[in-house]
Structure 1
Amino acid sequence: MRIIYAGTPEFAVPALQGLIAAGHEIVMVLTQPDRPSGRGMQLKASPVKQLALAHGLPVFQPESLKPAEVQAQIAATDAEVLIVAAYGLIIPTPVLNIPTRGCYNIHGSLLPRWRGAAPIHRAILAGDSETGVTIMEVVPKLDAGNMISKWATPITEADTTQTLHDAISREGARLMVEAMHTLQTSGQLPSQVQDESLVTYAHKLEKSEAGIDWTQSAVQLSRQVRAFNPFPVATARFKEQVCKLWFAQVAQADAGAPAATSPVAGSQIAGNIVQIQPLLVACGEGVLQIDELQMPGGKRQTAQQFVHGQHVQVGDRFF
């Protein structure tokens, strides 16, 4: 089929690869304009643009899809389908009406839960037991279209936004390629209406959310650290320096952590380091085991590298 593909970040790359491999004709790739990146702030093409150029596909990078001349250029492709994956720009109704066989989106949650900008992060932060991906029809209302297919996966204590992002991106690509095969061969895609009573919204992450509050429970802080990996990365102060916490988990009894109800845990000040092998920190409830972190100007390192490099002792404190 003749397809317009709209996507920008790494999340959107596997689906474009899959559609190319399936033999569809990608008549236009919509992606956001090149943005400054790196220390030199040089303009950098999006991952989707890089893939498109490698395959000789036509790329269109308007700042907005609202101008009439932009919409006319999109309409001139005579596309049958518009596929959207983390494009990042609002798609006006006139553009949604251009493809003759519909517009479809890869959304990184099990709709109707977590409509919006940060579904993977919010699922981890909320302590959801599972997440996944939904192939859905695109309608003017945010993430409200009928659902075509889903894939679900458990959220484990070892999962970060990065690990779930990669799995969801991969499986979303597979589902989208399957959906396009069904549409091409049968002429239609069966779908299911979302239950509006179950809708939740995944609001955009703010950097202000990154700071660790050690008076919270170890369970909640583990979720925060894992949800904010790889961005914006949870932060805490240690010896007047702001460090990044890349991975942490609730300390288990077999790691030597005092139980949350024990006098030892109860007497600890939140943020105090109670053990250094492994690196355990007292919280408002329970104990957090820090496994990977990063000091300003340094590289990511294991907790034990941090302990040795910073001469950490029991009784030192994170703020």
Structure 2
Amino acid sequence: MKIVFMGTPDFAVGTLEALIQAGHELIGVVTQPDKPKGRGKTLMATPVKEVALKHQIPVYQPQKVRETEFTETLRRLAPDVIVVAAFGQIITKEILEIPRYGCINVHASLLPAYRGAAPIQWAVINGEKESGVTIMQMDEGLDTGDMIDKVVVPLAEDETGGSLFDKLSQAGARLCVKVLKDLEEGKAVREKQPEESTTAYASMISKKMGEVNWNESAKSIEQLIRGLNPWPSAYTKLQGKTLKLWQAQVEEQEEEGRPGEILRVEKDAFYVKTGKGLLKIKEVQLEGKKRMDTGAFLRGFHLNTGELLG
């Protein structure tokens, strides 16, 4: 098949590489414009662009895909299908109608659950037992198109946003190759989605979301820590400095104290009172320091019981 691929971050790389390995003709890759990074503001290529250049695939980086000039470029390319995976822009009706097989999207949730920009992190934050990938036929709505195929991916008890990201990227890549074969052979079956999502909208993740509210339950906070690992990370304040929380464990027992109060300090962990239960803090990163297990942190930093976090 002649394919135009639209994607930007690491999540999309696995699908692009799988399409190349499957022998499809990649006639163009569309990705977001390079962005300045670091102190020197050096322009950095997106992960998808790097893979495309490595395989000598033409790269297009329009500021907005809805621009008439870019739409005409796609018409000239005349792809059989456009594959979209975490691209980051809204695809217009004009573009959706260009390919013979339309546009298909690799979405990191079991639609109609978790429509939106951050389904991976929200699945962990909300304590889901399973997630997955849905390949859907794109329409003008946001993740509302007909579902073509799905794969279920169970979540481990210690699943993080990062580990689930990797699992779903690989699962989505394999499923996309299968779906394209089904489309070519006329075997693809489309299932309409209900109008309403079965979960809350998976809104974009922001750094501010990582601030821990110690009035929440220990379970909710622990899920937040895992869901926001590796980015943007959950955090609190300790003696006026930002303390990132990377790993924690829920302790169900109740003890007297104020939410956010450090109740016990042990050799390799400390325990914080929450709105329900205690949270055993096992891995941290103090502002200006490296990420480390709590035992190493406590060897260089004195914590007092009774101190309040936040």
Structure 1-normalised TM-score?
A: 0.92
**CA distance in 2: counterparts of 1:249 and 1:99, whole angstroms:** 50
Corresponding residue of 1:80: 80
Contact 1:5 1:82 in 2 (8 A): yes
Contact 1:218 1:287 in 2 (8 A): yes
**CA distance in 2: counterparts of 1:312 and 1:152, whole angstroms:** 43
Long gaps (5+) in structure 2:
none
**CA distance in 1: counterparts of 2:178 and 2:230, whole angstroms:** 30
Contact 2:265 2:303 in 1 (8 A): no
Corresponding residue of 2:250: 250
- Paired residues in the alignment total 307
Please state if 1:268 is matched with 2:257: yes
Q: Identify the range of structure 1 (239-248 vs 162-171) with the bigger mean alpha-carbon deviation.
A: 239-248
Contact 2:114 2:197 in 1 (8 A): no
After superposition, what is the alpha-carbon deviation per residue over 1:100-128, rounded to whole angstroms, capped at 9, x for unaligned?
A: 11211111111001100111122222222
Q: CA deviation at 1:312?
A: 2.4
Q: Identify the range of structure 1 (128-137 vs 20-29) with the bigger mean alpha-carbon deviation.
A: 128-137
**CA distance in 2: counterparts of 1:39 and 1:311, whole angstroms:** 33
Contact 2:131 2:153 in 1 (8 A): yes
Question: Which one of the candidate residues 272, 278, 284 is aligned to 1:281?
Answer: 272
Corresponding residue of 1:187: 186
Q: CA deviation at 1:315?
A: 3.2
Please state if 1:314 is matched with 2:308: no
Q: CA deviation at 1:90?
A: 1.1
The one-letter amino acid paired with 1:235 is Y
Q: CA deviation at 1:197?
A: 4.2
Contact 1:279 1:304 in 2 (8 A): no
- Runs of 4 or more, structure 1, over 6 Å off, are none
The one-letter amino acid paired with 1:294 is Q
Q: Identify the range of structure 1 (64-73 vs 205-214) with the bigger mean alpha-carbon deviation.
A: 205-214
Please state if 1:168 is matched with 2:168: yes
Q: CA deviation at 1:270?
A: 1.7
Give RMSD over aligned pairs: 1.4
Contact 2:245 2:281 in 1 (8 A): yes
**CA distance in 2: counterparts of 1:126 and 1:51, whole angstroms:** 33
Secondary structure of residue in 2 paired with 1:204: coil
The one-letter amino acid paired with 1:183 is L
Q: Identify the range of structure 1 (166-175 vs 231-240) with the bigger mean alpha-carbon deviation.
A: 231-240
The one-letter amino acid paired with 2:202 is A
Residue correspondence of structure 1 range 1-319 to structure 2 within 5 A: 1-184=1-184, 186-200=185-199, 201-251=201-251, 259-260=253-254, 265=255, 267-273=256-262, 274-276=264-266, 277-319=268-310
Secondary structure of residue in 1 paired with 2:17: helix
Q: Say if 1:297 and 1:278 are closer, same or farther in 2 by CA, change over 3 A.
A: closer
Long gaps (5+) in structure 1:
253-258
Quote the sequence identity (%): 40
Q: Identify the range of structure 1 (51-60 vs 274-283) with the bigger mean alpha-carbon deviation.
A: 274-283
Secondary structure of residue in 2 paired with 1:202: coil
**CA distance in 1: counterparts of 2:136 and 2:142, whole angstroms:** 11
After superposition, what is the alpha-carbon deviation per residue over 1:63-107, rounded to whole angstroms, capped at 9, x for unaligned?
A: 001111111111111100000000001111101111111211111
Secondary structure of residue in 1 paired with 2:183: helix
**CA distance in 2: counterparts of 1:188 and 1:66, whole angstroms:** 31
**CA distance in 2: counterparts of 1:141 and 1:159, whole angstroms:** 30
**CA distance in 1: counterparts of 2:265 and 2:152, whole angstroms:** 37
**CA distance in 2: counterparts of 1:309 and 1:93, whole angstroms:** 58
Secondary structure of residue in 2 paired with 1:116: coil
**CA distance in 2: counterparts of 1:39 and 1:246, whole angstroms:** 26
Q: CA deviation at 1:135?
A: 0.8
